[in-house]
Amino acid sequence: MKEEKDYLSNTSWLILERVTRLSLVLVVGVFLARYLGPEKYGVLSYCISFVGMFSAIASLGLDGIVVEKLVNARNNYKNLLGTVLVLKFLGALSVFLITIFASFIFNNSTFESFLIIIIATALIFDSICVIDLYFQANVQGQYIAKAKITQIAISTLLKFLMIYSNAELYMFALLILVDSFILAVCYLYVFQFQAKKQLSFDFSVVLAKKLLFASKALIFADVIISIHTRIDLVMLKYMLGLREVGIYRAATTLNEAWYFLPMVISASIFPLLVSAKKKDESEYLDNLQKLFNLMVWMALAITITVILFADEICFFLYGAEYLGASDVMRIQIMSCVFVFLGVASGKQFLIEKTYSFVFQRVLLGVSVNILLNLYLIPKYNINGAAFSTVISHFVSSFLFDVMQPKTRVLFFMKIKSLLFIDKRMFSRKLR
């Protein structure tokens, strides 16, 4: 009963934080898009996406592995967190240098390179997010939720002040750096003063080698995922222009806002799945099936809503300048069910330690996406990029499972969920 309450409380706090963040980010994002207009908004979106393609290197694919290790050895966290903290800092520093070098190679605009350097600097503070992993493993979402809610509230206030004072575009890039610093300070505060823990900087070379060896496939997988989620904007910039980037980003912001649901629920349920795997295989698969069922029901509800009201949503939020965003929304939201299932099944790869499948799956997805973009964008403009996204998620998050003998069980479990053969979902009676 206590374990059940802990998971429900943890999930509730995480959802509260994500809903708060979603609401504030959407509101300020709409005002920012209106304030900057499609072209300037496209410049900012492109620069963020450019940095984002490299940012995953900084995480070194360690997050899921570290959470699992912390679940299995909760009392021995200092050495593990200290080692991961140092690794993530070195990874962020490397990414910062790589991004600066790449920005001057691929961008003719000095101003765009300037924005990219500012945004890339924020990666240095992201290493402190290792504290998040500790709270995930200990099912203490309230601490992280408080830190993130504080950060997003301050960020929202600063953005509105900038809009009100007619700030220049570079100031909004600078705010991304400020956001990262504020979040790091909030993490350190809740860890030291509320959780009453001390963040250690102890570094173990032996442990670092073990972690990097275990995560080698996940590092590449995370990089490919980052490319997959941002390549559309980068390709649109070079193939169509910055105005189209702004319109496309406005649409994807609304659709991707829903993706917090599978991430929060899967992250909260992850320790439960790890424990169930140790106890009984049938219980583990039973809980995984329930998770898939829940993902499908949520995704379908969101998809139907967006398809029906995309025109009204886009016109009300963005205005006439962003005509065309509603078509992108309708097309792209059809990938929602595959994204939700992909996030849920990704946890199974971590538990089974089949890390290479994570890499293979996302590599397949981004390859399909890039090839389809080259064909569909010239033919259908920004709608072509949306079609490419849907097909790539279908291939990587659904069809991939049938290609591997070890993942075919996931394919048939997803089929059961999609066909509503098994209607059970996670409830208060978790096994």
Q: How many residues does the chain have?
A: 431
Residue 319: other Cβ atoms inside 10 A: 12
The per-residue pLDDT for range 339-358, each reduced to its tens digit, is 888 888 877 777 776 767 77
User: What residue has token string 């570094």?
Assistant: 203
The CB-side HSE value for 178 (13 A sphere, CA atoms) comes to: 14
Selected residue with higher pLDDT from 82 and 114: 114
Listed residue (301, 265, 277, 313) closest to 426, CA to CA:
265
pLDDT of residue 376: 92
Selected residue with higher pLDDT from 415 and 229: 415
281-318 vs 2-59: helix crossing angle, rounded to 10: 70
| Contact call for residues 63 and 191 (beta carbons, < 8 A) | no
Does position 1 have pLDDT exceeding 50, yes or no? no
For every residue of 368-405, DSSP letters joined together read: HHHHHHHHHHHHHTHHHHHHHHHHHHHIIIIIHHHHSG
The per-residue pLDDT for range 78-97, each reduced to its tens digit, is 667 777 777 878 888 888 88
Residue 301 banded pLDDT, cuts 50, 70, 90: very high
Q: What is the pTM of this model?
A: 0.72
Exposed e or buried b for every residue in 42-60, given b needs 16+ CB within 10 A? bbbbbbbbbbbbbbbbbbb
pLDDT of residue 269: 75
The per-residue pLDDT for range 229-270, each reduced to its tens digit, is 778 888 888 888 888 888 888 888 888 878 878 877 777 777
Does position 304 have pLDDT exceeding 90, yes or no? yes
d(CA 125, CA 128): 6
Range with lowest mean pLDDT among 191-200, 308-317, 375-384? 191-200
Reported in sequence order, the residue ranges of 93-228 that DSSP labels E, i.e. its strands, are none
For every residue of 323-351, DSSP letters joined together read: TTHHHHHHHHGGGHHHHHHHHHHHHHHHH
User: Where in the chain are the domains?
Assistant: 2-418
Listed residue (117, 38, 73) closest to 314, CA to CA:
38
pLDDT of residue 355: 66
Range with lowest mean pLDDT among 80-84, 150-154, 421-425? 421-425
Residue 254: other Cβ atoms inside 10 A: 23
| Contact call for residues 271 and 347 (beta carbons, < 8 A) | no
pLDDT of residue 263: 79
The per-residue pLDDT for range 117-140, each reduced to its tens digit, is 888 888 888 777 777 776 766 666
| Contact call for residues 26 and 255 (beta carbons, < 8 A) | no
Please state, in angstroms and as integers, the Cα–Cα distance from residue 56 to each residue in 50, 94, 204, following that order.
Answer: 12, 11, 23
The CB-side HSE value for 317 (13 A sphere, CA atoms) comes to: 22
d(CA 262, CA 264): 6
Residue 104 banded pLDDT, cuts 50, 70, 90: confident
d(CA 386, CA 393): 11
Does position 151 have pLDDT exceeding 60, yes or no? yes
Token digits of residue 185:
């300070």
Mean pLDDT, the chain, integer: 79
* Segment 97-111 mean pLDDT: 78
| Contact call for residues 255 and 329 (beta carbons, < 8 A) | yes
Residue 199 banded pLDDT, cuts 50, 70, 90: low
Please state, in angstroms and as integers, the Cα–Cα distance from residue 230 to each residue in 45, 233, 260, following that order.
Answer: 10, 6, 17
pLDDT of residue 405: 78
Residue 190: other Cβ atoms inside 10 A: 21
